Amino acid sequence: MTTRPRVWAPTAESVELVTGGPDGPTDRHAMTQDPGGWWVAALSLPHGADYAFAVDGSDPRPDPRSAWQPHGVHGPSRVFDPERYDWADGAWAGCDARGAVIYELHVGTFTPEGTLDAAVARLDHLVDLGIDMVELMPVAAFPGVHGWGYDGVAIYAVHEPYGGPAALQRFVDAAHARGLAVCLDVVHNHLGPSGNYLGVYGPYFTDRHETPWGWAVNLDGPDAAEVRAYLVDNATRWLREFHLDALRLDAVHALVDDSPRHVLAEMADAVAGLAADVGCPLSLIAESDLNDVAMVTPTAQGGQGMTAQWADDVHHAVHAFLTGERHGYYVDFGSPEVLAKALTSAFVHDGGYSTFRGRDWGRPVPPETDGHRFVVFGQDHDQVGNRALGDRPSARLDDGALAASAALVLTSPFTPMLFMGEEWGARTPWQYFTDHAEPELVEGIRRGRREEFGGHGWAELYGGDVDVPDPQAPSTVTVSRLDWSEPEQEAHRRLLDWYRDLIALRKAQPDLASGDLAAVGVDHAPDGSWLVVRRGAVRTVFNLAETPAEVPGGGAGAVLLRWGPVEQGQDGTLRLGARGVAVLGPDPGRPAGTS
């Protein structure tokens, strides 16, 4: 198959197609202007051909819709024919994100090799764990080799050091063969600072709105229709050409859109139409800090139509409760009452005052809302990587508290997500790293990281001045890679078994698998030393004290799973060992799992 290159450049006087690679001769071919500001080439290019565009005689720049950037984000694009791949997933029935057990991973540090093909070799670990959906952090092309992916600039391309677009097809096909769905994290709210050439072509950005990254994407100004199409087409193209099952949309609150119909609703309807065409469920998961259920309200009811959204408040409630941290955005979290609210309604800030924001925040969650609409976690890339040292909870919590965190998330009425290595209590940190070539940009990033953590109370938390890791240092990447020898060690293996058993129990017990928020109740000691979470006929009981304790009302039923010793009293009490957890339910015929 050949492709006739085309590009949107509505204000250009001329556009040329530049063929040839960076190391060979190049030729320029005048393009013809079509209605709507599009320019079309007269010749077609085969798969593997290098090309770029020159606007008004300027230097050649990559195609804004390039699928392949083998020479990096500053070099020419390469034609990629997605139909060359022979898919083997014809029997794959798909997977709705709601209620799935999700596993977030970063391709560059998930394995020593840091590639999509190397990640395939670890998929069986995820199958054995009980994972339903793998969530890849962004793979869109970004500068250099190493990075988180949130400074991508070629949002249609797959980062070449990860293996390029063909490797993503192979990864998804291999995952489907194992019964694993794949979600891709995409960033539509901004582009990175290096290699962003969209402004050369047209009004992709506007100064009418501001975001934390500068000018906003132009979603509601002049020529916004094509910019909106650029994002919507990007979403449907990932799902269609790469057989992905879901997209996680980064920081959608930064998609500022004052038009009558929000771009997210437009995208949701387009994805729903594609799902009907392919006959498989396709999901959109929004990261939003607005605490507003309008995000997951169907478009027909005036909402944005997202399948699910991240609920950071649940993470904050769990983390602050177990660690005692109260700095920064944890200031309103940590009490058992706040944890109980998070576990029963997802949003802690649901219209009341947020101390960190200095204003009222959020809206209440109607009790009839499906809990599976909220993705929750005890760890994720942000909550680990944006700590001053990138330290995981395993650096500060004992195994009992880690087991409690897992149980709080995996027996919740929400859609649970794990962060790579969490399941065995990985001791490797996960730090922020970049690979930029421009000295001014590098120094700005270093300075920004130091200043960001200056007023967040990290010195008090870590017991002294904090030496923030250099994002550009190769060692920052090296220490962030998972150590796959850890799960073979006894202490790590015990926690891994606990996660595996919790996931299996969640799937086996209808009350745990349910997203019914109205069937959730929480009892706790005034000081938070013990906690009982009721999910219908199933109860998860926690003793967070350093000594054994009796928990009132927690002892009836069969012990389905336990962390540490458990004794059931005839008066309905349950005696748990120090830092112990037990799940009790109505299935006396099932042998209790132990960890």
User: In CATH, what number is assigned to the domain containing residue 305?
Assistant: 3.20.20.80
Residues 388 and 535 in one domain: no
Residue at 96 is within a domain: no
Same domain (yes/no): 484, 544: no
- CATH of residue 586: 2.60.40.1180
Question: For residue 590, what pLDDT is reported?
Answer: 52
pLDDT of residue 593: 54
* Contact between 534 and 585 (Cβ < 8 Å): no
**How many residues can be counted in the chain?**
595
Query: How far apart are the C-alpha atoms of 360 and 423, rounded to whole Å?
Result: 36
Does residue 84 belong to any structural domain of this protein?
no
Predicted confidence band of residue 461 (pLDDT cuts 50, 70, 90): confident
Q: How confident is the model at residue 332 (pLDDT cuts 50, 70, 90)?
A: very high
Q: Is the dihedral of CA 27, 28, 32, 38 positive or negative?
A: positive
| Containing structural domain, residue 143 | 102-490
Same domain, 443 and 545: no
- Domain match, 466 and 566 both: no
Contact of 99 with 89, CB cutoff 8 Å: no
Catalytic-labelled residue, pool 16, 245, 250, 435: 250
Averaged pLDDT of the chain: 94
In a domain, 510, yes or no: no
Q: In the predicted model, is pLDDT for residue 58 greater than 70?
A: yes
Q: Do residue 417 and residue 561 come from a single domain?
A: no
Calculate the CA dihedral of residues 423, 323, 565, 568 and round it to 10 degrees: -120
* C-alpha to C-alpha distance for 480 and 392, rounded to whole angstroms: 11
Identify the pLDDT of residue 451.
76
Instruction: Examine the domain organization and report whether 201 and 320 are in the same domain.
Output: yes
Q: What is the mean pLDDT of residues 153-181?
A: 98
Judge if 483 and 429 occupy the same domain. yes
Q: How many CB atoms lie within 10 A of CB 588?
A: 10
What pLDDT does residue 141 have?
A: 98
Q: What pLDDT score does 465 carry? A: 73
Q: What is the pLDDT of residue 208?
A: 87
Enumerate the known binding-site residues for substrate.
248-253, 312-316, 381-386
In a domain, 73, yes or no: no
Residue 421 resides in a domain: yes
CB–CB of 203/223 below 8 Å? yes
If asked whether residues 50 and 160 sit together in one domain, one would say no
- Phi first, then psi, for residue 575 (nearest 5°) are -100, 120
- In tens, the pLDDT along 248-278 reads 999 999 999 999 999 999 999 999 999 999 9
What would the mean pLDDT of 574-593 be, rounded to a whole number?
80
pLDDT band at residue 553, thresholds of 50, 70 and 90?
A: confident
pLDDT tier, 573 (very low <50, low <70, confident <90, very high otherwise): confident
| Tens of pLDDT, residues 380-415 | 999 999 999 999 999 999 999 999 999 999 999 999
Query: 226 and 110 in one domain?
Result: yes
**Domain for residue 583, yes or no?**
yes
In a domain, 94, yes or no: no
Shared domain check, 126 and 264: yes
Q: What type of residue sits at position 585?
A: G
According to the model, what pLDDT value does residue 18 have?
97
The residue ranking higher by pLDDT, 193 or 276, is 276
pLDDT digits (tens, 9 = 90+) for 339-380: 999 999 999 999 999 999 999 999 999 999 999 999 999 999
**Domain contains 162:** yes
Among 16, 50, 132, 287, the one annotated catalytic: 287
Task: State yes or no: is 287 an active-site residue.
Answer: yes
* Residue 412 shares a structural domain with residue 550: no
Mean pLDDT of 55-75: 97
Q: Do 54 and 120 sit in the same domain of this protein?
A: no
What does the alpha-carbon distance between residue 504 and residue 203 come to, in Å, rounded to a whole number?
50
Give the max Cα distance, the chain: 87
Q: Kindly tell me if the per-residue pLDDT of 455 is higher than 80.
A: no
Torsion sign over Cα 483, 484, 488, 494: positive
Q: What domain count does the chain have?
A: 3
Model pLDDT, residue 458 = 67
Which tens digit of pLDDT belongs to each residue from 99-150? 999 999 999 999 999 999 999 999 999 999 999 999 999 999 999 999 999 9
The sign of the CA dihedral 437, 156, 432, 355 is positive
CATH code of residue 24? 2.60.40.10
> Which whole-number Å values give the CA distances from 388 to 51, 109, 173, 458, in the listed order?
42, 19, 37, 7
Residues making up the annotated binding site are: 248-253, 312-316, 381-386
Which three-class secondary structure state does DSSP give residue 492? helix
User: Higher-confidence residue: 457 or 482?
Assistant: 482
- Give the residue-averaged pLDDT of 331-342: 98
| 250 flagged as catalytic | yes
pTM of structure: 0.96
User: Quick one: pLDDT at residue 335?
Assistant: 97
Check: CB of residue 183 under 8 Å from CB of residue 245: yes
**Is the pLDDT confidence value at 217 over 60?**
yes
